[in-house]
């Protein structure tokens, strides 16, 4: 049963991947491709946040710092003439270095320290990068700009992120991470090093987020270099992960679909109100539905199968009489 379900999920992911891979052949409209790029970026950000926040239980409020750092390093190197793949990977590595700089000391402390420490880090970088690079960054090689190349980069990154998360949570390390989330003392008493697991989750999460920043730098023709350090790049992915369901693979994806879809819908209909609606929904989910939309779906399924079983046992009772 569990195996069947796992296979079904895998098949679903493969089909979804193939459809997304073939889509640019069918759709030639740039605005649709742009929307898909945004969706894939959000999937990457929400899923990579989820590795640390959902599976390991460490609330990272500074994801924008890693995203921005990846984007800054990639952009400066790439515009400076270094081949994109090297710039891209360097961006990811620098994001990890930054993450460890805050993670190693902060994980020694419990509770809110990691959260507020990462929040402060992102804010420091937002201000500092804005001071050093106040001007718009332009892509000089505009003639060769192709949206489809960018699209495939984002698709590959989203697949890599979901694949890594899936592989990780089904491994020994993933089990250790979840044990740490459920209770650090209990995990430590079983010989699981909470620190090591947290640092591993942070490293993977920051690397993927840094790469997402690099892809962002590759995608945008012109943008302010401090923009990806903005707090919305932390909050939006967190909201998506929670609305979909943290600590699941599919949750952040559902959250991203929901976020992008509703945002488009609301922007067309009620204008600026979409963030008020998202904020409200997010609060309701944190308070009353910690499992997110995935949990709603599971409960519905359970109720359906229970009522079926109920009918069956009722009918068998009547035959016995």
Partner 1 sequence: MIESLGQTLAYGILVGALYGLVALGLSLVFGVTKLLNVAHGELIMFGGYLSFWAFSMLGLDPFLTIIFSMVGLALIGVLLYKLVFSWTIKFSEDVKIKNTLLVAFGLSVILQNLALRFWTADERSITASYTGVAFTILGVRFPAVRVISLVVAAVCLIALQLFLKKTYTGKAIRATVQNWEAASLMGIDIHKVYLLSFAIGAALAGAAGTLVAVNYSVMPSMGLEWTMIALVTMVLGGLGNIPGTFIGGLVLGLTESATSFYISSNYRAVAGLVLFLLVLIFRPQGLFGSKEG
User: Minimum CB separation from partner 1 for residue 128, in Å?
Assistant: 6
Closer residue to partner 1 in complex, CB, 10/127: 127
User: Minimum CB separation from partner 1 for residue 286, in Å?
Assistant: 5
CB 87 within 8 A of CB 233: no
The two three-digit tokens of residue 270, written as one number: 């009620």
If one asks whether residue 109 binds partner 1 (CB under 8 A), the answer comes out as yes
Closer residue to partner 1 in complex, CB, 90/236: 236
Q: Between vectors from CA 111 to CA 108 and to CA 116, what angle results, nearest 5°?
A: 90
CB 54 within 8 A of CB 248: yes
C-alpha separations of 115 from 52, 77, 109, 192 in Å: 12, 30, 11, 22
In whole angstroms, what is the distance from residue 84 CA to residue 266 CA?
36
User: Minimum CB separation from partner 1 for residue 221, in Å?
Assistant: 25
In whole angstroms, what is the distance from residue 195 CA to residue 187 CA?
11
CB 175 within 8 A of CB 62: no
User: Minimum CB separation from partner 1 for residue 43, in Å?
Assistant: 20
Residue 108, SS3 per DSSP: coil
Closer residue to partner 1 in complex, CB, 68/214: 68
If one asks whether residue 77 binds partner 1 (CB under 8 A), the answer comes out as no
Kindly tell me which residue out of 20, 36, 40, 61 binds partner 1, with binding defined by CB under 8 A: 61
Radius of gyration of the chain (CA): 21
Binding residues among 259-278 for partner 1 as defined by CB under 8 A:
272-273, 275-276, 278
In whole angstroms, what is the distance from residue 300 CA to residue 296 CA?
6
Closer residue to partner 1 in complex, CB, 157/179: 179
Kindly tell me which residue out of 16, 124, 296, 300 binds partner 1, with binding defined by CB under 8 A: 124
Which residues of the chain form contacts with partner 1 (CB under 8 A)? 57, 59, 61, 102, 105-106, 109, 111-113, 115-117, 119-121, 123-124, 127-128, 131, 231, 235, 238-239, 242, 272-273, 275-276, 278-280, 282-283, 286-288
């Amino acid at each position: 049963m569990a195996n069947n379900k796992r296979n079904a999920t895998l098949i679903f992911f493969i089909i979804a991947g193939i459809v997304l891979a073939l889509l640019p052949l069918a759709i030639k409209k740039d605005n649709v491709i742009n929307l898909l790029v945004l969706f894939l970026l959000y999937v990457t950000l929400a899923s990579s946040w989820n590795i640390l926040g959902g599976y390991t239980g460490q609330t990272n409020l500074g994801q924008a710092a890693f995203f921005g750092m990846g984007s800054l390093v990639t952009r400066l190197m790439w515009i400076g003439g270094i081949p994109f793949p090297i710039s891209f990977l360097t961006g990811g590595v620098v994001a990890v270095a930054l993450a460890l700089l805050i993670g190693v000391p902060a994980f020694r402390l419990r509770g809110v320290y990691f959260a507020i420490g990462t929040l402060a880090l992102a804010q420091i970088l937002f201000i500092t990068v804005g001071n050093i690079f106040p001007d718009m960054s332009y892509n000089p090689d505009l003639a060769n700009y192709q949206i489809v190349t960018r699209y495939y980069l984002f698709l590959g990154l989203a697949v890599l992120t979901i694949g890594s998360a899936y592989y990780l949570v089904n491994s020994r390390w993933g089990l250790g991470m979840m044990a740490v989330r459920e209770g650090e003392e209990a995990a430590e008493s079983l010989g699981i090093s909470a620190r090591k697991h947290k640092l591993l989750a942070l490293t993977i999460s920051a690397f993927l987020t840094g790469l997402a920043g690099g892809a962002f730098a590759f995608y945008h023709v012109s943008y302010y270099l401090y923009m990806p350090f903005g707090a919305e790049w932390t909050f939006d992915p967190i909201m998506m992960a929670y609305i979909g369901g943290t600590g699941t693979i599919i949750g952040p994806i559902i959250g991203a679909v929901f976020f992008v879809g509703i945002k488009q819908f609301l922007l067309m209909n009620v204008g600026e109100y979409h963030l008020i609606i998202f904020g409200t929904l997010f609060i309701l989910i944190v308070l009353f539905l910690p499992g997110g939309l995935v949990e709603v779906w599971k409960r519905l399924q359970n109720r359906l199968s229970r009522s079926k079983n109920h009918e069956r046992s009722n009918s068998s009772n009547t035959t016995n009489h």
